[in-house]
């Protein structure tokens, strides 16, 4: 099952500087029905129903420790649900979902023994590509995402924003139809975070993917997502689903001060407060 989502070798060669094209996703790229999860006795998720269309961005917000990250790991196939069904495209078994999703963990987790470009190209290397080829494939993206000149730099020499960009590229380059982002900008200062949100929005406009975005920042969720699911405190249930106002301005400041956006944010905050009780 893993093979069918991988790119054919010949298509990979012709695409050395482009992002590998994701597999065509069916109408509902992600579908969760009645998903429960528990760590032993501790119930973390309760009857979660969620869906996201192909190339849609689904935001997940909720109080800290509510199980957002667990939910994301379930979608990615990194965990098994206690009950319910999870489908990513046609993939339902966890091993198949794992093959369809690229996971970006909370901390950037760049490997300190690899240069920035080798970190970004990690998935290609794992998929069996040679080092030079993999670097070639990643180099084009470094240019496109404003990281040129930092290819050989070790992660500890990069700024927080750059590390996050490399971590995102690493996720993107994996060539999976679904990107699972776990609080990608939580560790950044407010200004860098705003810049990175703008950057990510632009990156997804030029290269649309199905994205599940976990965050505790309602504004970030609404700015980046098409739809935001608000989760309650543990055990997490979906207490509200809020459609992000569209179209949004490319400029983040303009987008978040728009009256429809402000109204949506208030609604989400209200749901979050109620769900936290």
Partner 1 sequence: MRRWLLPLGLIALLLALWQVACSTGAIADALNLESYLVPSPTEIASSLWENRGLLAENAWVTLQEILLGIVAALVVGVAFAVLMNRWRALRDAAYPLVVASQTIPIVVIAPILVVWFGYGMTPKVVLIALFCFFPITVNAFDGLRSVDPEAVKLMRSLDASRWQRFWRVEAPTALPSLFTGIKIAVVFAPIGAVFAEWAGSSSGLGHLIQFDTAYFQVDRQFATVAVLAAMALALIGLTTLAERRVVTWR
- The reply to whether 260 sits near partner 1 by the rule CB under 8 A is no
The order of strands in the sheet holding 42-53 is 42-53, 28-39, 83-88
- The reply to whether 52 sits near partner 1 by the rule CB under 8 A is no
Q: Stretches 9-17, 40-48, 120-128, 208-216: which one binds partner 1 (CB under 8 A)?
A: 120-128
Strands 28-39 and 83-88, by their bridges, are antiparallel
- The reply to whether 169 sits near partner 1 by the rule CB under 8 A is no
Q: Could you give the C-alpha distances from 70 to 38, 57, 58, 80, in angstroms and in order?
A: 10, 18, 15, 10
Count the residues of the shown chain that bind partner 1, applying the rule CB under 8 A. Answer: 26
- The reply to whether 112 sits near partner 1 by the rule CB under 8 A is yes
- The reply to whether 156 sits near partner 1 by the rule CB under 8 A is yes
d(CA 203, CA 119): 19
- The reply to whether 111 sits near partner 1 by the rule CB under 8 A is yes
- The reply to whether 9 sits near partner 1 by the rule CB under 8 A is no
Closest CB 102 distance from partner 1, rounded Å: 6
CB 176 within 8 A of CB 75: no
Q: Stretches 9-17, 104-112, 134-142, 261-269: which one binds partner 1 (CB under 8 A)?
A: 104-112
30-53 burial by CB neighbour count: b if 16+ within 10 A, else e?
Answer: bbbeebebbeeeeebbbebebbbb
Among 101, 188, 222, 244, binds partner 1 (CB under 8 A): 101
Among 16, 43, 82, 127, binds partner 1 (CB under 8 A): 127
Describe the chain by its helix, strand, coil percentages, rounded to 5: 40, 20, 35
Between residues 69 and 215, which has the closer beta carbon with respect to partner 1? 69
Crossing angle for the helix pair 131-144 and 160-173, nearest 10 degrees? 120
- The reply to whether 102 sits near partner 1 by the rule CB under 8 A is yes
Residue 159 token pair: 């700024």
- The reply to whether 107 sits near partner 1 by the rule CB under 8 A is yes
- The reply to whether 23 sits near partner 1 by the rule CB under 8 A is no
- The reply to whether 152 sits near partner 1 by the rule CB under 8 A is no
CB 221 within 8 A of CB 213: yes
- The reply to whether 123 sits near partner 1 by the rule CB under 8 A is yes
Between residues 11 and 257, which has the closer beta carbon with respect to partner 1? 11
Provide the β-strand partners of residue 59.
Answer: 213, 228
Q: Which residues bind to partner 1, rule: CB under 8 A?
A: 2, 73, 76, 78, 98-99, 101-103, 105-107, 109, 111-113, 122-123, 125-127, 154, 156, 170, 174, 180
């Amino acid at each position: 099952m893993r093979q069918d989502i991988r790119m054919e070798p010949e298509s990979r060669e012709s695409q050395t500087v482009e992002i590998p094209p994701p597999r065509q996703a069916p109408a509902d790229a992600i579908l969760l029905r009645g998903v429960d999860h528990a760590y032993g006795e501790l119930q973390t998720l309760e009857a979660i129903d969620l869906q996201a269309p192909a190339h849609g961005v689904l935001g997940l917000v909720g109080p800290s420790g509510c199980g957002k990250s667990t939910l994301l790991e379930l979608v990615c196939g990194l965990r098994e649900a206690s009950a319910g069904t999870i489908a990513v495209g046609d993939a339902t078994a966890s091993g198949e979902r794992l093959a369809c999703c690229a996971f970006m963990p909370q901390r950037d987790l760049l490997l300190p023994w690899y240069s920035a470009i080798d970190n970004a190209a990690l998935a290609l290397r794992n998929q069996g590509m040679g080092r030079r080829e993999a670097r070639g494939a990643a180099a084009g993206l470094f240019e496109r995402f404003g990281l040129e000149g930092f290819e050989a730099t070790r992660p500890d020499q990069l700024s927080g924003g750059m590390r996050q960009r490399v971590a995102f590229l690493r996720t993107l380059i994996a060539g999976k139809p679904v990107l699972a982002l776990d609080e990608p900008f939580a560790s950044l200062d407010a200004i860098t975070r705003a810049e990175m949100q703008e950057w990510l929005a632009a990156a997804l406009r030029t290269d649309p993917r199905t994205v599940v975005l976990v965050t505790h920042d309602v504004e970030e969720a609404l700015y980046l997502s098409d739809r935001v699911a608000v989760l309650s405190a543990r055990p997490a249930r979906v207490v509200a689903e809020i459609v992000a106002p569209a179209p949004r301005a490319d400029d983040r400041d303009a987008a978040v001060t728009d009256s429809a956006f402000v109204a949506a944010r208030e609604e989400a905050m209200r749901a979050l407060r109620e769900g936290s009780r």
